[in-house]
Amino acid sequence: MNENGIKKISIRRLTAVIKKEFIHILRDTRSLAMAFLMPVILLFIFGYGITLDIKSLNMAVYDMDKTAESRELTDRFRASGYFDIIAAVNGTREIDRLIDRNIAHMVIVIPEGFGGSVKKGTPTDIQAIYDGSDANTTSIAMGYTEAITSRYSLSKMAKDPSGQIDLRLRVWYNPELKSRWFIIPGLIAIIMGVISALLTSLTVSREWEQGTMEQLLSTPIHPVELFLGKITPYFLIGIIDVLISVAVGVWIFGVPLRGSFLFLFAVSSLFLVGGLSLGIFISTAAKSQLVASQAAFVLTLLPAFMLSGFLYSIDNMPVFIQKITYAVQSRYFVTIMKDIFLKGNDPSVLIREILFLCAFTAVVFTAAIKKFKRI
């Protein structure tokens, strides 16, 4: 002990706890499966399952004009690569049938006189009818439709082509607007947060249920040594999971890694310490594996998916929900991971997110140690 009566941390005792925890992990096939297989499985499921790219929209055409101009407009939809023209309808009843039975996502109605108006350069209207039961698909289809018809209008109805605006678009970081490029980095952050909390949420509660915690507490081991000894093996496992997840994202899903790998490693380590500490805190407080796993699920997975900016923009959330997101660790890691993968900015650009992540990790780590000392 030192002068204040506080027992110093013993490297020998700490190493013994780490060795014990590794032996337990190797014997527990469920923990090994959760540690190494679950991240990969979740990456494949969500990586292939979650996509915002709409590349095949079934559409029908009600062409009441039947002129070369109306056929050219129809051909533009077909040639865009976004629409599959599945039917040519001849009345409103067929439109109702196609949309009611989910056969077509949309129907374009070209009125009589369309061709004549195009030749004269006078304004004319066409109608697009959408199935609004799938709001996301409908909004994307509306964007595609507007782009195609606008280009057609510029090419056909402008009286003075020399006065047209030549709009040239340039998209940085994700020029093809592939949804996987921003989903996969965020998904890695979500999976790491959930896995780290779930792994350690069971470690202390399992000791209580098996009756081995009392034996550990009766030994000379200091609570801090026990805490660090339990968290270290899972930290190493988490680092391996990060490496595997990054490899899957880059080599299988083709997401570019433009930033510093060392920076990614450092931030991931900081994030894992916070996630593992949260799991230990939950496990210490619950003392039941069932309660601990459920609490870890509620406190990590749901906030990570809904409040981290992974799929939904935080700026579009109500103000009071935006304030709640500051307490969600994944919010900062998702932003950092997307930047490392797609932008490759200098870490100084992300100083705000890094400081918030440091603060969260420090608070949770301290709370977990204090809770552990009260056992």
pLDDT, tens digit, for every residue of 178-192? 778 888 888 888 888
Paired tokens of 321: 């929900």
How many CB atoms are located within 10 Å of the residue 330 CB? Answer: 30
**Rg of the chain over CA atoms, in angstroms?**
28
| Start and end residues for every CATH 3.40.1710.10 domain found in the chain | 57-163
pTM here? 0.76
Paired tokens of 213: 């915690």
What's the pLDDT tens digit per position in 58-98? 999 999 999 998 999 999 999 888 889 998 988 888 888 88
- pLDDT score at 53: 67
Q: What is the mean pLDDT of the chain?
A: 82
Residue 263: alpha-carbon gap to chain centroid: 20
Instruction: State the virtual CA torsion across 67, 73, 75, 76 in degrees, nearest 10.
Output: 160
Paired tokens of 319: 């103000």
> Residue 168: pLDDT above 70?
no
Measure the N-to-C terminal CA separation of the chain; round to a whole number of Å: 20
| 90, 79 contact by CB (below 8 A) | no
Greater pLDDT, 271 or 196: 271
- pLDDT score at 355: 94
What's the pLDDT tens digit per position in 242-266? 999 999 999 998 899 999 999 999 9
Q: Which fold has domain 57-163?
A: abc type-2 transporter like fold (3.40.1710)
Place of tokens 């490392």: 340
What's the pLDDT tens digit per position in 6-62? 456 778 888 888 888 888 777 777 777 777 888 888 888 877 777 666 777 899 999
